[in-house]
């Protein structure tokens, strides 16, 4: 471990002569090994400190860990900063998962420690942690950046053990007679990362016992590629810059790997989410000569117009929700309801004893088609409400409608039509029908939902906006 950690420090210029560095010490094997290692680097003349965040999640066990770290730092003569945060309460207040709330609390604490003492923060992330992160990102869906794992250096955060495995840090502790504590929650599969550690990675080791080292080589190579592509994207932004935005023709000519990074940088500039789906929608806006607008925040829009792609902030004015209507299912066939803003919704019920007539229809028609017999009597037509959830056909999971609209960049969301029965939302404009009312091989009656301009037959095109 010693050799690998020293090589990592040198390769990434993590620490220099006379630096002040605070080791983030949880009390586990990795962080205990890190603190001992840093204190032994006499040739660097480091001033070593430590910091510990008590997440208050495990009762007496959390307090035990804190006391262990206090005792260890006193024995080493190392100054220690400690903070206690009720992470469970923080997660509830901010609507976050425990894991996310804990991470945010830790890094906020690290930032304060770094600022207070003018020091770098050394965390004990290992190659094992990096491999878990890669697998987790791969399962969730990611690009090159997510496959790069945990960066060795990020701002004032350094990770000297990122080239070492967890087995090596434990061996270091054993060789140096170091005691450490074990977080009991790490022994369970209660969180996704633990499941990956206990069940997924061992299967990779069956294929290749050196899988961790292979992941390390891959992440190093991908970091180089990502660095190059990020540099190319910076150059492309400078090349495409025109007035308040970027030249559409120049953007269209870029390689997709560079173009998507330019778009991601534009979204980041506005503080908007940079999901792959959102970037794909914006790429589609580059084609054609029409003015196109996509909402990416409460008052932030991406606009393609006048040969430019640019961000536009608009004064947020509250929209009046759609006037709610209660419709009887048996009277829905042929109904047409004005929604205001020159838009109407129309319903028709089709007898579909022979389903084959729909087999060759595209997904666009069936997206707005519901199994009439699966809908309960009493259909509510309204705008989205807090807590509305829907499982879009084929998605395999239920999501908050608010989150789906955010991912889609849907504009004027309060004016989008939602249909619900006593079992909840079964249709949302722009999303389609819920899985529970999907049309299938045993469907006998189909309810088709269409939108038209009020008084006309033309379908609405919400992604286009007249200047």
Binding-site residues for ATP: 26-31
Interacting residues of 273 by C-beta distance below 8 A, sequence separation 6+: 267, 296, 406, 407
Secondary structure string (H, E, C) spanning the chain: CHHHHHHHHHHCCCCCCCCEEEEECCCCHHHHHHHHHHHCCHHHCCEEEEEEEECCCCCHHHHHHHHHHHHHHHHHCCEEEEEECCHHHHHHHHCCCHHHHHHHHHHHHHHHHHHHHCCEEECCCCHHHHHHHHHHHHHHCCCHHHHCCCCCEECCEECCCCCCCHHHHHHHHHHCCCCCCCCHHHHCCCCHHHHHHHHHHHHHHHHCCCHHHHHHHHHHHHHHHHHHHHHHHHHHHHHHEECCEEEHHHHHHCCHHHHHHHHHHHHHHCCCCCCHHHHHHHHHHCCCCCCEEEECCCCEEEEEECCEEEEEECCCCCCCCCCCEEECHHHCCCCEEEEECCEEEEEEEEECCCHHHHCCCCHHHHHCEEEHHHCCCCEEEECCCCCCEECECCCCCCEEHHHHHHHHCCCCHHHCCEEEECCEEEEECCCEEEHHHCCCCCCCEEEEEEEEECCCCCCCCCCECCC
Residues within the annotated binding site?
26-31
Cα 269 off chain centre by: 17
């Amino acid at each position: 471990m010693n050799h690998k950690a020293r090589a990592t420090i040198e390769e990434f210029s993590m620490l220099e002569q006379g630096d002040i560095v605070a080791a983030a010490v949880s009390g586990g094997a990795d962080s205990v090994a890190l603190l001992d290692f840093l204190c032994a680097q006499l040739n660097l003349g480091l001033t070593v400190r430590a910091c510990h965040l008590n997440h208050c999640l495990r009762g007496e066990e959390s307090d035990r860990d804190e006391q262990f770290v206090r005792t260890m730092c006193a024995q080493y003569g190392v100054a220690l900063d400690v903070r206690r945060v009720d992470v469970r309460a923080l997660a509830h207040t901010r609507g976050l998962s425990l894991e996310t709330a804990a991470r945010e609390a830790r890094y906020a604490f690290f930032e304060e420690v770094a600022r207070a003492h003018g020091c770098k923060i050394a965390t004990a992330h290992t190659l094992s942690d990096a491999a878990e992160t890669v697998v987790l990102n791969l399962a969730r869906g990611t690009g090159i950046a997510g496959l790069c794992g945990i960066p060795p250096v990020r701002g004032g955060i350094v990770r000297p053990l990122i080239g070492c495995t967890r087995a090596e840090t434990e061996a270091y502790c054993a060789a140096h007679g170091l005691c450490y504590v074990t977080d009991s929650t790490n022994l369970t599969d209660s969180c996704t990362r633990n499941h990956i550690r206990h069940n997924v990675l061992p299967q990779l080791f069956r294929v290749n016992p050196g899988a961790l080292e292979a992941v390390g080589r891959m992440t190093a190579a991908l970091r180089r590629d990502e660095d190059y592509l990020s540099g190319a994207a910076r150059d492309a932004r400078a090349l495409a810059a025109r007035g308040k935005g970027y030249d559409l023709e120049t953007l269209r000519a870029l390689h997709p790997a560079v173009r998507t990074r330019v778009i991601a940088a534009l979204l980041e500039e506005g503080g908007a989410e940079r999901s792959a789906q959102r970037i794909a929608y914006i790429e589609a806006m580059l084609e054609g000569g029409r003015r196109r607008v996509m909402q990416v925040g409460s008052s932030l829009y991406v606009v393609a117009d006048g040969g430019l792609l640019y961000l536009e902030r608009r004064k947020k004015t509250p929209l009046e929700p759609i006037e709610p209507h209660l419709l009887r299912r048996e009277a829905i066939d042929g109904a047409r309801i004005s929604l205001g803003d020159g838009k109407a919704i129309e319903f028709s019920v089709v007898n579909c004893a022979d389903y084959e007539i729909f087999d060759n229809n595209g997904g666009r028609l069936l997206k707005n088609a519901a199994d009439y017999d699966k809908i309960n009597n009493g259909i509510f037509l309204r705008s989205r409400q807090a807590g509305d959830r829907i499982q879009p056909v084929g998605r395999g999971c239920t999501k908050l409608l608010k989150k789906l609209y955010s991912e889609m960049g849907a504009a004027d969301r309060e004016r989008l039509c939602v249909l619900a029965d006593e079992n909840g939302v079964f249709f949302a404009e722009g999303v389609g029908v819920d899985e529970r009312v999907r049309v299938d091989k045993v469907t006998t009656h189909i309810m088709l939902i269409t939108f038209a301009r009020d008084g006309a037959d033309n379908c609405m095109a919400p992604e286009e906006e007249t200047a």
